[in-house]
Chain A
Amino acid sequence: MIDQMKNDMRPATSCHCEGSQRMDCPKQSLRSPRPCGARDDGERLLKSRRASFGRGLTIALAISGSILLAAIPSAKAADSLEKAVGRIPVQAGGRTKPFASFAKESVLFVTGKTSFEGEDPTTLVWRWIAQPEIWSAKPILPVTHLRLRKHFESDLVRNRISPVLVLNDLEFKKIVNEAQIKESQEKRISQLEKKQIELYHRARLFEETAHGRMPGFIPHPGDPKISWLPLEALLSREGLEIAQNLYPKSELEQTASSLGLLLDHLRGGDFGQSYLAGERFAQSIEHVLLSRDIFLDQNAMNLEFLYLKLRPFQLAWILYLLSIIIWLAPNRQKKVTWVALALFVAGFAVHSFGFVLRMLIAGRPPVTNMYESIVWVSWGAAFFSLLFWIFFRSNLLPAVAACVATLTLIIAESCPTFLDSSISPLSPVLRSNYWLTIHVLTITLGYGAFLLNWGIAHALLYCLAFRKKRELVEHLTQYLYRSLQVGVILLASGTILGGVWAAESWGRFWGWDPKETWALIAVLAYLAVLHSRTAGWLDAFGVAFWSAVSFLTVLMAWYGVNFVLGAGLHSYGFGGGGLPYVLAFVVTDILAIVWLARRFKTVSPHH
């Protein structure tokens, strides 16, 4: 079948016009008469842009180089505290994870930032534990809601407030209590009330973490599934007495003293010494567990730590961005475009590697929340561009894919508060199901094809509006159609697989759940484009324009159902907000394509 595909996909020189009356065949194709190799075509596109992009290559390279450097974990991290204690396995959020992972999540939740005051999360959390009172009085909790800011007006420092002020505010606590009661009764609460509860939880989480009540460090030897003993158990005599029921006294005391030492160094601001103390503490914890023959999988911890430090998806978009810059840069040499392609492939490799890493850590395909699905969809776009590259040998495809993948990955990486990148256990419906995995992967891969299609549609609209070379337009037209086909097949079969899964686990094939309904609407939208194209109602411009518009239905199925409609059975995918940004993006995109269309209509002669 691949051969078939190859044949079909090769630029045809003749048109097989044996169709029926209805399925109007476009007249003779208007593509160039000679079967041109697509390979040098892409270069021609790039060359044609050369003049407009000037001599910015060196600058561009310098900028991208510095971005790349910033992304690679700095060398000074080698003997940081993070390395020493970041890999200790802890229990938090329903699974065992390295301390660094817990620290990242709690720093993000407490401060709303991935790193605070230039300190990596692990070190920061340890400093909290060393001096809970001091940190509790520092303004570290962000207050974003305007009316909430008003409540704490006099206490805010750069729109942040200290945990102790939040927790000691009896009036605020009462408000939060009422909001929580309302939430438990009515489920729907106002944005202000949500923010009030959130702020209170931020303060509480800080308190719990800073006083060593979270996460769990020492499992119960008999049943590791119950709550592990937190650091608090090592910090007090009562706690130690309890721990002594489970573990040998000598080991515990050893750990407690190394913990004390570590905290002393941190209090004294002696970070060089704290690294050694941290290592000692990590070792002694391990010894404690070993004394009861508990051996936690350190490989899994190392893997997750690697994932956290490497930040593969950030690295991937940087590589993609570099490839774009080089593709756009003025250079006549063929080698340079190969460099760009190589960078793109490297980006794709890192992207895939990150995905596999995440899969190994979570023990499941990571497509269960918005963040993961964005990563996977952009992977899909890059994947299909490379697949098409094999058939068409055109660098246009990876170039477009690099653009959309960079865009989506930047979005995924830069909105940690909307797009939760932490790895968390699945809700019961989603567990251990083969069909479900296939269903979700197929659908989101379809989104990936449509994302690529969307990028190609924009490129094509741009080329049409600015009267670029005809071959370029023809090739883009072909890629547009091919990506549309792939998307339709994947989305249609994915939706059906969803029906099969629903029939097998809920007893109904189709239940008009908003998620499945919108997937169907997206299929219908693209089908309408395909059929209009077959009917001859849409030309290259029309197909490009309407595919770009149809992507809005994909956005609705992908994002809108969870965040706009907020109803239905797929509610396990829900998360907070980001709606204004998405709306702004959608409006901008619509304006852009309408503008391109207008320009195309006004500059080109009408038939």
Chain B
Amino acid sequence: MENKSPLSPHIQVYRWQISSLVSISHRITGIINIIAITLICLWISLIFLNESKFESINLLLSSKIGKFIILGITWSFSFQILSEIRHLIMDLGYGFELRTTKISGLIVIFGSVICTIIFFIIGKSFI
């Protein structure tokens, strides 16, 4: 009898809230960032080893796909930082009211996009 009981549906039926969306994105961007940082470190260390290989990766990154990846990583970093600030404020015990969590969640989502655009414009002026 006990083993026959089905498990009621969970993530299949539960509606996404802004807060749960920000929370799962925080985790996903966290994983992306760790991988990205590792790759960036490897790329930088190529300078000491082999200049031509460094150049070829440089070329790859200036292609359309490369630019998309760079923008993606910029967004991922922006999202992680903003979301982490939100978490730090929550760890201090503030911002738990339902309205506040919705607003802070929206700030993180839209703020990350705005940050990406700002970083893109700043970066463009350097090149």
Chains A and B belong together in one complex: no
Q: Which residues of B contact A (CB under 8 A)?
A: none
